[in-house]
Amino acid sequence: MSNTTQLKFENLYTLSTWGLRKSRAHPEIPKNLKWLVEFSCMLGVNVYCVGLLLYSIWFHDIKADNLVMAFRNMTMVILAFIINSMYFVLVFYQKPIKEIIHAIDEDYSTIQQWNDEEKYILFSYIEKSKRVCKLWFVSAIVTSSLFPLKSIVLMIYYYAIGEFRPVSMFEVSYPSYLDEHKNDLGLFLFLYLMHILFAIYAAALIMGFEPLAPIFVLHASALLKVASVRMMKLFDERQVMAQIIQLKQIVQLSQHIDRLIDNINYSFMYIYEIIMKFTPIAISIVSILVIETLKEGEINLEFISFLGGCFLNCFIPCYYSDHLIEMANEFRVSLYSCGWEKRGETQPRRMLLNMLTRSSRPPAIHTMFSSLCLDAFSEVCRQAYTLFNLLNAVW
């Protein structure tokens, strides 16, 4: 990390950028005819798999009163909806997301002018961002690989006991023609390939998209921390003009942070509203599914992993948005406790008063109707628990 020439978004967060490029959702990828063809192929696979899942839910699972299978397939439909929403966010908000990444790279390029304490703060937040990338990489790979792994293990088991039969990744009921021929080798391989492509698409997009907003928020938090450190040292300088120059630099930094947070909110507001609304539904449904399969003596590792991913999907942005609020409050405290009362110069005091007024409302990551914070995550958990009890009572 000592080589500051390597401080580029692409170089630091390779797991996230790799997922974005493999899913063809990276903001630097030009949206031309080639991209449109690739996107259409991925969307076609997605629509095909979701169509089969919806057909199975509506025409077989519900009619047969098989709520376990209905919940199982409904979970995959919710996942597909959220995944596609993420992709459309990356497409429609390509420009502001690209601006955020370029702004981060510009901040990294100025690090040579920072002192050792400020560099340490930035590097510590970069490491936190990398851990977020690794966490989502593991979650995406484990969850998406458990589905094909389970079917492969079952096929090996059936072969070993002399009763070999094909096992699909998703336990769905097909339309009549497909259902009659689903065990034919050619059709089975085609359906299995579609499911595999859907899993790869979902995993790549999750490991690419999910860390983005936390990385951006952590960078804003690092800048707020640096601004607080600079503020606390402002009046160590005896010359009034030097104090004013440093104070103007801190004002410019705080304005840069505000623009960064505004861009984050503009880009991610709607997707986080979707996540906050659908996460309680997903958690309650998957919890019922896991409990019912446990009663039948079956351990659904893939859905247990999926349940963990649901919690992460909501907890991580809430946690880091809460941390952003904490850093903003720390910066506001530094404005008041920087030692201004020991100096008699009026111009720095007026500038500080303006900064205190502007910072009266701490920044946060917002959805359409609320702010992301740990209280919001608690509310999601309460909603999930209420819905779980309701479904359990109806069951």
Where do the structural domains in the chain lie, given as residue ranges? Answer: 4-394
Q: Supply the mean pLDDT for the chain.
A: 88
Contact 348, 243 (CB under 8 A): yes
Number of Cα atoms under 13 Å in the Cβ half of residue 281: 15
Distance, CA of 271 to CA of 290 (rounded, Å): 27
pLDDT recorded at residue 297:
78
Contact 107, 223 (CB under 8 A): yes
Contact 178, 348 (CB under 8 A): no
For residues 230-255, average pLDDT: 81
Closest residue by Cα to residue 183 from 207, 155, 209: 155
Q: Please, which pLDDT band fits residue 2 given cuts at 50, 70 and 90? A: very low
166-217 pLDDT, tens digit each: 888 888 887 877 777 777 888 889 888 988 999 999 999 999 999 999 999 9
Cβ-count burial 320-343 (b if 16+ within 10 Å, e if not): bbbbbbebbebbbebbeebebeee
pTM score = 0.91
pLDDT at 111 over 70: yes
Element of type H or E holding 39: helix 33-56
Q: What is the dihedral sign for C-alpha 264, 268, 270, 276? A: negative
Closest residue by Cα to residue 91 from 48, 46, 169, 39: 39
pLDDT recorded at residue 61:
81
* More confidently predicted of 143 and 243: 143
pLDDT recorded at residue 235:
72
3-state secondary structure 258-289: HHHHHHHHHHHHHHHHHHHHHHHHHHHHHHHH
∠ CA 310-313-319 to the nearest 5 degrees? 125
For 29, other C-beta atoms within 10 Å of its C-beta total 17
For residues 150-161, average pLDDT: 89
For residues 124-143, average pLDDT: 94
69-95 pLDDT, tens digit each: 888 888 889 889 999 999 999 999 999
Distance, CA of 41 to CA of 12 (rounded, Å): 30
8-48 pLDDT, tens digit each: 999 999 999 999 999 899 999 988 899 999 989 988 988 88
Q: Please, which pLDDT band fits residue 5 given cuts at 50, 70 and 90? A: low
Distance, CA of 153 to CA of 272 (rounded, Å): 36
For residues 214-233, average pLDDT: 93
